Structure 1
Amino acid sequence: MDVAALRAITPGCKHRNHLNNAGAALMSQPTIEAMLRQLRAEAEIGGYEAAGAAQEQIDDAYAALAELLGGRPGEIALFDNATHAWQAAFYSLRLGPGDRILTSRSEYGSNVLAYLQVARRTGAEVVVVPNDEYGQVDTVALAGLIDDRTRLVGLSHVPTSGGLVNPAAEVGRVARAAGVPYLLDATQSAGQFPVDVRAIGCDMLCGTGRKFLRGPRGTGFLWVRDSFLDNLDPHVAEIRSAEWDGARGFTWVPGARRFETWENSYVNTIGLAVAVRQALDLGLEEIGERTVELGARMRGLLDDIPGVTTYDLGEVRCAIVTAKVQGVPADEVVTRLAAAGVNVTATEPLDNQFDNEFRDVHPMVRFSPHYYNTVNELENAAALVAAMVRQPDVK
């Protein structure tokens, strides 16, 4: 991987030490240019006409995402964000009194709120599976908790709050053996390392373009296994998702596009297609090797600073690193690093409710390098953090 060349086509690298890729990564020049071309076309010839002229590029978003995930283009639906993609799948499940939703302590906050809402509405039950000795979801405990009332296993592949990589494929084997639907949130994993839906064994998967795929904000996607579609009842019917029968009825359109809505930002869709193609061209195995290496280096640098503690769980860890600085609140660390040109963010209890119940460690500072970051950038960030520990009262 030619990191210097990749940085040269990433304008943001000239101005910032960007270690907030788990929030939103820096887009590359090819992605930016493709989006600008489409935006100019919309301004010059009209939005509908520009979309028609770019149909091949729009179609490639589905094809590229299918290749990324190991699925088929007809199994992909596009959204404006990953949460809406996840909700489209989850709220299409038929749940009732006594039904059980099994999830992990690391589940993303918006997913948890949806579970709680549906439990309140329907009388379903939310069951939090314990962690194993590594702090990841305990697959033995998961298997023991599944019974004839279990209607869903929901899992965040990588949580928003740390470097943990949950054993998604082992969860898939447990879910398949029990015949229970499996919804995987790959928001923080897609683009960071290989994610193969066939190997994982999930039935539904959501992701976003803005994070490790380096696409634009306002993009999300859902993959649904073809053979699982009949188990879902989409919660919105409109002219994109359904076909009117000419009388008082309708049928769903084929494939996963039954979850979409008609209006879309095709500027963003084209940007997403280019970004995904860039990841595929680089190779997800190569990307994964570098992101893991950079995450481990960042974690090690922070661990070496007296007064700084990292909190990442899991037997397998990725590029997300969470830490606390003794005597300096997380939001202040974020602000002081930003003033020095370093982008990081902080975790929040609302985003990690079940994790917060058991660890009570939030908020923390979250560092998330990507393959275009350099070791010098990591060392620079660590040195700034070390200076905060030595001089906690210096603003």
Structure 2
Amino acid sequence: MIDIAQVRRDTPGCETFIHFDNAGASPMPDPVFRAVTDHMAAERALGGYEAERRAQPALECLYTGLADLLNAAPDEIAYAENATRAWNMAVYALPWAEGDRVIVHGSEYASNMLAFLHLERRHGITIDIAPSDGTGQIDVDALERMITAKTKLISLVHVPTQGGLVNPAAAVGDAARRHGVTYALDACQSVGQMAVDVGKIGCDILTCTGRKYLRGPRGTGFLYIRRDLANRLDPPFIDLHAANWSAERSFDIAPAARRFENYESNVAGRIGLARAVAYARKVGIASIEARIESLAQELRQTLNAIRGVTLQDLGARTCGIVTFTIDQVDPIAVRDVLFQKGISTSVSLVNHARLDLGRRETGPVLRASVHYFNTEGEIERFGAAVARIALNTSIQTEKLSS
């Protein structure tokens, strides 16, 4: 059972603001904020190098904490400044050749798809798009029929940016294992709001950002890569952290995931991410998942009861991300009005998810994403604000004031 009063005390912004953009950037709890600012104070007092040397135990906690969270080994974790950099370091390291194929799904995120389009232009690879089943999630049987001897990678977004569906990641992992195909999972929206076990899922690569459901600092992320795969790959670039300059004309590359890291990084951010992982584990992932599912169900019911509101989520299983549109109202204008009323949401644009939103022709969708520290009362207030907007499609700010 989560102590809601305590976690809200740890999140001072809850006093004056309703945070419903947790899939974008969730507010840091106080222990995470203090970890970041304490290290920055140490850097100011001691200098960056000495402060980092003294922070080594805290920095190591990032690897052990993430390993425990994901059921991985610490040497299979690499820190990255964001999820896209983590994704690109692993995906571009694969030995692509003309004629190789990658299978993606319609829920694929823009940055991931751009990498594949870049590889298509650079190496002549082929991008295959796996269809959805009747619920909108990836059709695993159809995916398996698409696998050929030239399939180099299966790429899947666990929870897409533009909706609340949860793709059947473990079933895809089973298919990838049966055919010996490398499997990469974008877990940006799932880690921190639900249990993610790389052993059960069977992914070879997993990437995530720190600023979403983990509640870490912005500008942090990580890569999980299975040890034996990492040791077979050359990163797209290296530095004196990822490799040792062992002789004038030779070098020794670092083992396992470390070869995908850079020497220079935001040390305070790394410490903050480590503290965020520890905070999430202390609250309890099972409790977090149950709390988010309960709040999301209530949020969907609230929105579904508002005339003029259409829920846009797909999937047999859904999570804490809820997307919707309001008839004849621009989602960006809705987001801006809600922000003026002290409620944060975000908008998923078509160019963030063209294979989904572009084909469904929904246009942009408004995204509300709840976390465990949110309350039923906040959902009620949010629903009332949305209902007023739906009744007044001109959404003139002065007409919506309390």
Q: How high is the TM-score relative to the length of structure 1?
A: 0.99
C-alpha distance in 2 between matches for 1:8 and 1:212: 18
Match of 2:56 in 1: 55
Shift of 1:356: 2.7
SS of corresponding position for 2:318: coil
Alpha-carbon distance in structure 2 between the residues aligned to 1:362 and 1:269: 37
Query: Which residue identity is paired with 1:83?
Result: T
User: What pairs up with 1:6-85 in 2 under 5 angstroms?
Assistant: 6-85=7-86
In 2, Cα distance between equivalents of 1:51 and 1:318: 38
| Contact kept in structure 2, 1:101 and 1:153, CA below 8 Å | yes
Letter in 2 for 1:384: A
Structure-2 separation of matches of 1:125 and 1:174: 20
1:330-371 Cα deviation digits (max 9, x unpaired)? 001001100100000101111102113421213010000100
Q: CA deviation at 1:34?
A: 1.1
Corresponding residue for 1:175?
176
Of the structure 1 ranges 238-247 and 259-268, higher mean CA displacement relative to structure 2 is found in 238-247
Residue 248 (structure 2) pairs with residue 247 (structure 1): yes
What amino acid is aligned across from residue 258 of structure 2 in structure 1? R
2:296 matched to 1:307? no
Unaligned runs of 5+ in 2: 397-402
- The aligned counterpart of 1:100 is 101
Q: Which aligned pairs between 1:105-124 and structure 2 lie closer than 5 A?
A: 105-124=106-125
Residue 210 of structure 1 deviates from its aligned partner by 0.4
After superposition, give the CA deviation of every residue in 1:132-165 in whole Å (9 maximum; x if it has no partner): 0110000000000001010000000000000010
Residues 231, 256 of structure 2: 8 Å contact kept: no
The one-letter code of the counterpart of 2:66 is L
Provide the C-alpha distance between the structure 2 equivalents of 1:287 and 1:2, rounded to a whole number of angstroms.
Answer: 11
Asked if 1:294 is matched to 2:298, the reply is no
Superposition deviation, residue 10 in structure 1: 0.6
Structure 2: which amino acid aligns with 1:216? P
Name the structure 1 match of 2:399. none
Q: CA deviation at 1:394?
A: 4.1
**Conserved in 1, the CA contact under 8 Å of 2:231 and 2:255?**
no
Q: 2:33 is aligned with what amino acid? A: I
CA displacement at 1:282 relative to structure 2: 1.2
* CA drift at 1:241: 0.4
What SS does the aligned partner of 1:371 have? Answer: coil
C-alpha distance in 1 between matches for 2:55 and 2:15: 31
Deviation at 1:247, TM superposition (A): 2.9
Say if 2:380 is the partner of 1:385. no
Which 10-residue stretch deviates more, 239-248 or 262-271? 239-248
- Tell me the amino acid that sits aligned with residue 90 of structure 2: A
- Contact 2:313 2:323 survives alignment (8 Å): yes
The DSSP-based 3-state class of the residue aligned with 1:23 is: helix
Distance 1:188 1:73 in 2: 22
How many angstroms does 1:298 deviate by?
A: 0.9
Q: CA contact under 8 A between 1:112 and 1:353: conserved in structure 2?
A: no
Q: Residue 20 of structure 1 contacts residue 344 of structure 1 at CA under 8 Å; is this kept in 2?
A: yes
Q: How far off is 1:77 after superposition?
A: 0.4
Shift of 1:250: 1.3
Q: CA RMSD in A?
A: 0.8
Letter in 1 for 2:393: P
| Amino acid in structure 2 at the alignment position of 1:374 | T
Q: 1:311-339: per-residue Cα shift (whole Å, max 9, x none)?
A: 10111100000000112100010011001
Written as runs of structure 1 = structure 2, the 5 A alignment for 1:73-222 is 73-222=74-223
The equivalent residue for 1:361 is: 362
**8 Å Cα contact 1:66/1:72 also seen in 2:** yes
Q: What is the distance in 2 between the residues matched to 1:293 and 1:17?
A: 17
Q: Is contact 1:93–1:231 with CA below 8 Å preserved after alignment?
A: no
Deviation at 1:15, TM superposition (A): 1.8
Structure 2 distance, partners of 1:313, 1:270, is 36
Q: CA deviation at 1:243?
A: 1.4
**Cα deviation digits, residues 171-228 of structure 1 (max 9, x gap):** 0000000000000000000001010000000001000110000000010000011121
The aligned amino acid for 2:11 is T
Trace 1:311-326 onto structure 2 (pairs within 5 A).
311-326=312-327
Give distance in 2, aligned partners of 1:155 and 1:187: 11
**Secondary structure in 1 matching 2:24:** coil
Q: Note if contact 1:334-1:346 (Cα within 8 Å) is conserved in structure 2.
A: yes
Instruction: Indicate if the aligned counterparts of 1:105 and 1:130 stay in contact, CA closer than 8 A.
Output: yes
Tell me by how many angstroms 1:45 deviates: 0.7
| Runs of 4+ that moved beyond 6 A | none
Q: CA separation in 1, counterparts of 2:123 and 2:347? A: 34
CA distance in 2: counterparts of 1:279 and 1:362, whole angstroms: 34
Which stretch shows the higher mean deviation, 290-299 or 79-88?
Answer: 290-299
CA contact (8 A) 2:334 2:395 kept: no
User: Which whole-Å CA distance do the structure 2 matches of 1:23 and 1:160 have between them?
Assistant: 9
Q: In the superposition, relative to structure 1, how do residues 394 and 172 fare at CA in structure 2: closer, same or farther (>3 Å)?
A: closer
Q: Specify the SS of the correspondent of 2:22.
A: coil
Equivalents in 1 of 2:48, 2:182: separation in Å? Answer: 39
CA shift for structure 1 position 42: 0.1
Q: Structure 2-normalised TM-score? A: 0.97
| Alpha-carbon displacement from aligned partner over 1:14-66 (angstroms, at most 9, x marks no partner) | 12101000000011111111111100000001000000011100110111111
| One-letter identity of the residue aligned with 2:316 | E
